[in-house]
Amino acid sequence: AHRHPDYLVLGSDTVIEIDGTLVGKPQDLDDAETMLCQLRGRTHQVHTGIALIHETVSVTVVRGETALVRMTAFTDQELRHYLETEESLGKAGAYSIQGEGARFIEKIEGDYPTIVGLPLRQTADLLEQRGVMLKTPVEEIYRLKPYANWKVFG
């Protein structure tokens, strides 16, 4: 934002909450294993926040959205196989719903893109409030569900 003060800058980040504790991204595979074992067979909250900044006109808007995710009671062998992919690194809660981690998801309640890491409806709303119109209307994206796992969970 500082380098391009005339641009709108959009950022987002995601954290997991279980038992009132926030869980971010794992530091390493051991940390990922601990996180996934904590989530196994349970429901947790996924919180994704978005921020839109425009420095020239001193605008900062922050919003958030929450979804619920129920994990399967996956086996230790399934967990080891998943950890070997290293997909869990860099992901809040150590899993990727849009990737191999989807196999551990039993059910979601809420917005799939929020779990992926960008609540599309809120993002589109923020952009449109600033005069940025999307090429594809956000409701069309939701109708098409262009990602395979989205169709499974949405």
Q: Which residues are catalytic?
A: 13
| 131: region left, alpha or beta (phi > 0 left; psi from -120 to 50 alpha) | left
Round to the nearest angstrom and report the end-to-end CA distance of the chain: 34
Is residue 11 within 8 A of residue 50, CB to CB? The reply is yes
Is residue 106 within 8 A of residue 70, CB to CB? The reply is yes
- Helix pair angle (76-85, 29-39), 10° resolution: 140
